[in-house]
Structure 1
Amino acid sequence: MNQVAPTGDQDSGSYVEPGGEFTRDTRYITTRITADGRDGYPVEPGRYRLIAARACPWANRTLIVRRLLGLESVLSLGLCGPVHDKRSWTFDLDPGGVDPVLRIPRLQDAYFARFPDYPRGITVPAIVDVPTGEVVTNDFNQITLDFSTEWRQFHRDGAPDLYPEARRGEIDEVADLVFRDVNNGVYRCGFAGSQEAYDKAYDRLFSRIDWLTERLSRQRYLVGDTITEADVRLFTTLTRFDPVYHGHFKCNRSKLSEIPVLWAYARDLFQTPGFGDTVDFVQIKQHYYIVHSDVNPTRIVPKGPELSNWLTPHGREELGGRPFGDGTPPPPPQPGELVPPGHGAD
């Protein structure tokens, strides 16, 4: 999601609302790609392209779920660079700065192809219809759920059930709390425009952190004894906590690495195939510290923190649980989708 700011005089736009609380624009393109094609976009192998950015926590969710379910062969991937301007995410990682499949330099081109007067931020993740070059959806909340349900025909053998029907109510409830207070809570801290707004967001964030700590002290995963959509959604915020949110967003009651239960939980997931192998810490830091120039005017990217500790033993196996349920781990990432050496925890 990491929304391109629509206002401001700086190249990357302004994110802080002076004097007030940060309010996320949650009006997304709600068109869905479904098995029955009821919105005009049926699930078809090779027809669509997922556009993501490794820097963005909302897009990182789609990278993880796509990997876990084995959708790489039916849904191609385009990756934007970590730094954008106030107009759009761009394909500056590709030769000539052009996506090799869509043949566009900016993600906004796919948005404008369908909605010439699209009025809101150009966000990732987005799914583009390759034949028309038009964006289909940027509804990050629904995209990964549809990967689990509507794309089931194309799941790999041994794909886990990340959204089991019997657990959906609890998954949705936990995910909603995590979104409100943690996923979006860190942004409400970082983009607060007043001390009062910041204090309120900070208290809500760490109250939920304490709630999560208590819950995860008794069970290995957030819902049931297997990895679910709820874990994916929390994980992408936790990986960014110490490199970015603790300092840049002033979420500094404690580092993640100083919260034993959550730190062990995060390392458990990070070391699970499909999770840590999608994380690019270099791009994460570049994105936040360079793009949010109203928060960090110098745009200096910090060298720390030390990241090799993500690979230390976590001990969560003692709580039981089966990461993939009756399924199996995904195979290694495809060669063209590997996180560059030195950008992970290696």
Structure 2
Amino acid sequence: MDDNKDYENENESKSSKIKNIFKKKPHISIKFSESYDKFQTSIPAFLGICLCAFALMCFAAFAIFFVNVKGPEKVLVPNVVGKNLEDALLEMQVKELYSKISLRYSDLPGDEGTILDQSPDAGAIVKGYSRVSLVVSRGVIVDKVDEYTGMNIEDLRMKLQTLFAGQTKPLIVLAEPEYKPDASDAGTILEQDPPAGTKISEPVTVQLVVSRGPNYENTKAPYLIGQSVNDLLQIITRSKLVFDITSHKASDDEKPGTVVDQQAFDDEFVPNYTRVAVEMALPSGEYNDNIYGIYQEKVADYPYPVPMKIEAYPAEGNSYTLLSFNHPGGMVTVPYAVPKGTTLELTVVNKVVSKKTVN
């Protein structure tokens, strides 16, 4: 029983303590007036700090602006044309200028590495650290004479023309060749002077001996009377003669489109590429679905026969070669019988020299 009483007394004591805790009110004291006074006294100092920070920022911004506006000092571009590349670069470096280099072949042997041109020109006023373009010589295209014997002279001319294209003074010039009969094909270079391997220190003139071709001397003149246009074209292809062909309107007793006259010679054989006069009787209008005529063109004279051809381009259908032959140049005359509207094209040494449309 005593134990139970003690337990009840202990519980009552704890309950009374808890009630007393909730009955107590917390005491919180905030002094607003004191904090407001402190804030009022710190406003001038805060504003002063802000103004100082703003002034410092403005000063820094103006300093940066004026430094950028001032930029690098202006300098005088030096004259480096004719100087070697190393000296030119040193001069540019002293002036605080940058160099942009490009290479170009020159006409003068021995000037490799020399400044040929500059931009801006010497004496120009530019800002420091600007770029100056320098054109530097990479030397001459060739420094010695090559081996030309065995080449075709037309191929050599084309090669040298391409090699020195754009050069004001080509280093190799071909003299007028000497021609002679030889077993080699016509146009083949037999001899040269100076020989291959000769060093070039200044422009050099090359003398050549060129083949006129085998059996150049004589050929037999063919009999042409009564030959048609197609027959005559085949003879021209095979022959080593030059036919100067003219025509007239066929009369009633003449067969249109045939040879009615030719030049006669005292000897059976005549020198190769002798000019032979030939007269043809041609119809005045369309005949057998073809237009007849003589293709005539004046071309350059050559010291030996060069390849020529006439291509036909019909208004309908595929193109074809009307005639392929060798000719020494001058007046070229070729008979034709082609459909109306066909375009004929004369090519000399792979170069088109003239065109004609048949109407």
TM-score range, shorter-chain basis? under 0.3
User: TM-score, normalization: structure 1?
Assistant: 0.22
Structure richer in helix, relative to its length? 1
Structure richer in strand, relative to its length? 2
* Higher alpha-carbon Rg: 2
User: TM-score, normalization: structure 2?
Assistant: 0.21
